Structure 1
Amino acid sequence: MYRKDKSIQMKSSASSLYNNLSVLPLSDKSLTYFTVVHANTANMASWCVLPSRVLLVLTSQKGIQMYECDGSIMVYWHALDALETPQAQAVFARGIAPAGERYICVGTSSGLILVFDIPAKGTNITLTEVLAEHRDPITDIACETCEGKDSLADLVTADDSGVLCVWKSGEDFRLVTKISAYGVTCSSVKLWSGVIAAAYGTGQIRLYDARTGTISAELDSHARWIYALDIAPETGRLLSGAEDSFVQIWQLSRSEDSRLIEVEHRHSECVTDTQVCGAKFCDPQGSSFAVTGYDLNEIIRYVQL
């Protein structure tokens, strides 16, 4: 279904971090931006696409930085408060996602979710709310990716214990449901058409209904820890990458009565001798994807046949 395309060379290698690849396709300019984190000075870099603007958000042990989408101008800096973190525990921010029309959410090592209000332009960015439902470090945050979906739940957050919290964003964020810990870290999470896809250290992917938190399917997709998930919003293709050197692609769909989630395996790709730490679709249709690996100084690209 996919074939290997020309790789993108990097000056440095990718660190072994969850979801260590972010992709921003700009169809009107025929450009695609990629970001990869190297070494331990940063935790995550990701673009947040809001209706009014696109920001590049970078998290590190010291704080959260927001830039214009090309990285040329820093528009906001938020320092992390070490006093809020228990002694002997690392301080960091991890998990980045847009929410609703004008918010960006960032997770922290103390389990807090920081909600920032983003103006249409300028630097008047404010911290408006702190969500304190988690008790363990945040691993990932995802927003609803199905365009035009008016959902009762449009944000999901995950932590090191495996707990998932589902939210409805707005001026006051509301907790919709809380999904209990699975006994292992939830390393990556995505939300599409009311379906939560959550990846775990067991190599399994679980699919939940976002409104009720009930499990719909469990996929034994990898032999080792899953590091990355992604969903193509226009087609519902689900991509996963793991320590076992494999990338798997699945097709998600709703049944005719919209109550059941149907899953079909579409493609398997072995990235030889590579611990996959980042995997992302390069377009909304899922017709191409890119992969990064630990200590690998290239971004490997694949295109649909």
Structure 2
Amino acid sequence: MTSTTAAAVSSSSSSLSSSGGNINNSSSVYKKEKSIQMKNSASALYNNLSVLCVPERSLTYMAVVHRSSVCMASWCILPSRVLLVLTSLRGIQMYESDGSIMVYWHALEIPETPTARAIFARGIAAVGGHYICVGTSSGCILVFDVPVKGTNITLSEELGQHTEAITSIAAECSMRKDCVPDLVTADDSGVLCVWKSGEEFTLLHKLPAYGCSCTSVALWDGIVAAGYGSGQIRVYDGATGALAAEANAHARWINVLDVAPESGRLLSGAEDSFVRVWKLGRAADTGLIEIEHRHSECVTDVQISGAKFCDAQGRAFAVTGYDLCEIIRYVLVA
């Protein structure tokens, strides 16, 4: 693996630009805590870390994918239950949250005529109270209707606006009935689709690509954040589809974005060995979307492949990277 150094990008050298929104620089301090050792290393996959926090039991579960037989692992938190969802080259598996019982299996359709394109599923999100959405290599979004309990999970809809492989899916809980987006999907070409869930999913906006893959997306308070292979983060108004701000956040390919739902903190990790914390919000006087850079951390000589907040406020986050046999945890101290 090519060595990278902290000199590649520093917090002061991140270039930011605005398209009607506001961009500020502030600071927070996170302190490194004791690492969690793993038996195997993390694979070089997008968004290769999932975290489930169980405050009432003082437990935190973490999942990292090793090797390419599994594409992604993620916990889907629905109002009535929590499921662990795995995607692979063969299909989609759903388990009870502790992984003890498989409650559903969906096999991917293999074309009769062999193609050069690999068949896989990638991108997982829970949305709309009782749906789980999973992306596929064909660009289709599979929407599964999940009951309160039991195994009677059904494929209720297939969303077909993408033509390239899905890279990432993000969702947030929205109880409003107007056109507030609660789902965003991204593909290898860089196209984003913004949706509103319901008995039938409605496409609100299709945001065009601009020259590179969109590897990860996050959604918070109607604000869409997208990370790209160029190292840029683009921030959109989900209600209008307008570009609000752009940050030249990393020197290399961004592999992961995550958002803390109760604070709007945004986490980004990339192949430049840096993980950065940002703050999303809206100006009280103008309503313009704002993004602030808060913190940078260098994980020396590690290509970041996974990063997740460990709580809803974003007071702690965990990081892992390609060929790294540990999960590194950071806690907010100021």
Specify if TM > 0.5. Answer: yes
Q: For residues 14-163 of structure 1, what are the structure 2 equivalents within 5 Å?
A: 14-83=42-111, 87-144=115-172, 152-163=180-191
Assess if the C-alpha contact under 8 Å between 1:85 and 1:109 holds in 2.
no
Partner of 2:296: 268
Give the Cα separation in 2 of the matches to 1:172 and 1:85: 32
Determine the C-alpha separation between the residues in 2 that align with 1:148 and 1:128: 21
Give the match's secondary structure for 1:172: coil
Q: Tell me how far apart the structure 2 counterparts of residues 52 and 154 of structure 1 sit (CA, whole Å).
A: 18
1:210 corresponds in structure 2 to 238
Higher RCO, 1 vs 2 (CA within 8 Å, ≥6 residues apart): 2
Other structure's SS at 1:252 match: strand
- Structure 1 counterpart of 2:129, which letter? E
User: Which residue is 2:211 aligned to?
Assistant: 183
The one-letter amino acid of 1:282's match is C
Distance in 2 separating the partners of 1:218 and 1:132: 28
Name the CA distance, whole Å, in 2 between partners of 1:221 and 1:205.
6
Q: Percent identity?
A: 68
- Structure 2's unaligned 5+ residue stretches are 1-28
SS of the equivalent of 1:89 reads coil
Distance in 1 of aligned mates of 2:228 and 2:292:
19
Counterpart amino acid of 1:159? D
8 Å contact 1:85–1:91 — kept in the other structure? no
Contact 1:142 1:157 in 2 (8 A): yes
Paired residue for 1:201?
229
One-letter code of the match for 1:88? A
SS in structure 2 of the partner of residue 12 of structure 1: coil
Largest Rg, 1 or 2: 2
Q: SS at 2:268's partner residue? A: strand
Give TM-score, length-normalised by structure 2: 0.89
Native 8 Å contact 1:117 1:128 kept in 2: yes
Deviation for aligned residue 1:258: 6.2
Shift of 1:262: 1.1
CA 119–258 in structure 1, closer or farther in 2 if over 3 Å, else same? farther
Paired AA for residue 218 in structure 2: K
Superposed structure 1 runs of 4+ greater than 3 Å apart: 147-151
Q: Evaluate the alpha carbon distance shift between residue 149 and residue 228 of structure 1 in structure 2; reply closer, same or farther with a 3 A threshold.
A: farther
Query: What CA distance in whole angstroms lies between the structure 1 residues aligned with 2:200 and 2:100?
Result: 32
Shift of 1:212: 1.4
Do 1:114 and 1:129's aligned partners in 2 also have CA atoms closer than 8 Å? yes
In 1, Cα distance between equivalents of 2:306 and 2:329: 12
The alpha-carbon distance between structure 1 residues 115 and 100, as it changes in their structure 2 partners (threshold 3 A), is: same
Most deviating of 113-122 and 76-85? 76-85
Secondary structure, aligned partner of 2:111: helix
Distance 2:123 2:292 in 1: 28
1:82 aligned counterpart, secondary structure? coil
The answer on whether the counterparts of 1:195 and 1:207 sit within 8 Å (CA) in structure 2 is: yes
Q: Secondary structure at the match of 1:28?
A: helix
The question of whether the paired residues in 2 share the 8 Å contact of 1:149 and 1:193 is answered with no
Per-residue deviation, 1:282: 0.2
| 1:185-209 CA distance string (max 9 Å, x none) | 0000000000000000000000001
Distance 2:186 2:286 in 1: 25
CA RMSD of the aligned region, Å?
Answer: 1.4
> Which residue does the alignment assign to 1:291?
319
Q: Deviations over 1:253-292 (max 9, x none)?
A: 1112563111111100000110000000000000000001
- Gap regions ≥5 residues in structure 1: none
Measure how far apart 1:82 and its partner are.
1.4
Task: Give the corresponding residue for 2:307.
Answer: 279
Aligned counterparts of 1:152 and 1:243: Cα–Cα separation in 2: 33
